[in-house]
Amino acid sequence: MISFYRSCRLATEAMLAADRIVLAGHINPDGDTLGSMLALTHALRALGKTAVPLSHHGVPDIYKWLPGAEWVQNSTDERGFDLAVVCDTGTSERVGGALPAIESADRILCIDHHLAEGKLGDIRVVNAKVAATGELIYRLLRPMGAHLSKEIADCLMCAIITDTGAFRFMNVTPNTFRTAAALMRAGACPAEIGELVFENKSLGSIKLMGRAIDSIQLTPDGRAAWGCIKATDFEEMGLTDEDSEGIVNHIRAVRTAQVGVLFREVPGKKVRVSLRAREGYDVNRVAQAFGGGGHMLAAGCSVDPPLSSAVPLVMAEVTKWLS
């Protein structure tokens, strides 16, 4: 097995050797995926590379302030890239419409902090001990000879703030703070970015959260809480799954709950499930049982509709791991 440090060296060598690079993140992108991908795009373009960032679902409204967000395409007809860089996922299934461009590249580099995901990539910079993929991108910048601009710092701060809940989650390490300090010195403001990520919601999304909170139920022992957003909620309010971002954290906030689960019955699609846990509980095991994945304390999956059968199915798995 190649060591992490050798993988980092191979990654920087591959990026420096390539002229045409395509980048992608996972479907339904979050701040870590987009922040990591755009930070690297800024760095590569500053080094004179052609860098094409792709996101199957584009850029959600709450992240359109990110520097370079306008560069992101849903897909591209270009092929034959020298290198493909996939950020924040290790499975080809999760890059969506970017996959043809990714597979056309001579080599694929995966940069990720999800050990449980697949084995995508000829070169793999994967470390589950970091809080966000953005931390890994930061580690690669200096060996690449890339300048840490304010644009890059803002993107990486967004990545870290998103995946740490503004430094509240148990995945935060001393190195997370060291990285954040370096990003602050480069001009990124965690207070401003935290507000953009967590306090930048539409009126509709706030009302949607109200419906989810109103639906919360507890298991008999109170150790798991769950809430639901029905297809009719999305349709009546003219909203999409993007508007449910972050709601699961409010469900997990129930005092007795060790696990919080949000079910979203997205019209015309599968029932999407978000899981959050307090320290000591591994919801990734629950997600994996349904073909999903993530981290011990934050994971997700999709199950077949209808919602009425999806809820007892997933909650039975949650209860099994809590017992």
DSSP per residue, 211-253:
HHHHT-EE-TTSSEEEEEE-HHHHHHHT--GGGGTTHHHHHHT
Q: How many CB atoms lie within 10 A of CB 221?
A: 11
Degrees (nearest 5) of the Cα angle 64, 283, 216? 75
| Contact (CB, 8 A) for 25 and 37 | yes
Overall residue count recorded for the chain in this entry: 323
Residue 256 confidence (pLDDT): 95
4-198 and 203-322, same CATH topology = no
Environment class of 268 (CB within 10 Å of its CB; exposed 0-12, middle 13-18, buried 19+): exposed
What is the bridge-based pairing of β-strands 50-54 and 123-126?
Answer: unpaired
Residue 79 confidence (pLDDT): 96
> Which residues in 126-156 are b (16+ Cβ under 10 Å) and which e?
bbeebbbbbbbbbbbbeebebebbebbbbbb
Residue 200 confidence (pLDDT): 87
Residue 213 confidence (pLDDT): 97
Handedness of CA 116, 117, 122, 125 (dihedral sign): negative
| Cα 195 to Cα 148: distance, rounded to the nearest angstrom | 23
C-alpha of 98 from chain center: 16
Given 3-state DSSP classes, what are the helix, strand and coil percentages for the chain, each rounded to the nearest 5?
Answer: 45, 15, 35
Enter the CATH code of domain 203-322: 3.10.310.30
Q: In the chain, where do the E strands start and end? A: 20-24, 50-54, 83-87, 107-112, 123-126, 217-218, 224-229, 259-265, 271-277, 293-294, 298-303
Residue 174 confidence (pLDDT): 97
Indicate the fold that domain 4-198 takes in CATH.
inorganic pyrophosphatase (n-terminal core) (3.90.1640)
What is the bridge-based pairing of β-strands 217-218 and 298-303?
Answer: unpaired
| Cα 181 to Cα 189: distance, rounded to the nearest angstrom | 10
Torsion of CA 47, 48, 50, 52, to 10 degrees: 40
Domain ranges for the chain, please list them. 4-198, 203-322
Environment class of 282 (CB within 10 Å of its CB; exposed 0-12, middle 13-18, buried 19+): middle
Residue 117 confidence (pLDDT): 60
| Contact (CB, 8 A) for 40 and 23 | yes
Residue 178 confidence (pLDDT): 98
Residue 183 confidence (pLDDT): 98
Q: With a threshold of 0.75, does the pTM exceed it?
A: yes
pLDDT tens, N- to C-terminus, the chain (323 residues) = 688 899 999 999 999 999 999 999 998 899 999 999 999 999 999 999 999 999 999 999 999 999 999 999 999 999 999 999 999 998 888 899 999 999 999 999 999 998 666 688 999 999 989 999 999 999 999 999 999 999 999 999 999 999 999 999 888 999 999 999 999 999 999 999 999 999 888 999 999 999 999 999 999 999 999 999 999 999 999 999 989 988 999 999 999 999 999 999 998 889 999 999 998 889 999 999 998 888 888 889 999 999 999 999 999 999 998 87
Residue 116 confidence (pLDDT): 60
Q: How many CB atoms lie within 10 A of CB 80?
A: 10
Question: Per the structure block, which two tokens stand in for 311?
Answer: 């809820």
Residue 122 confidence (pLDDT): 93
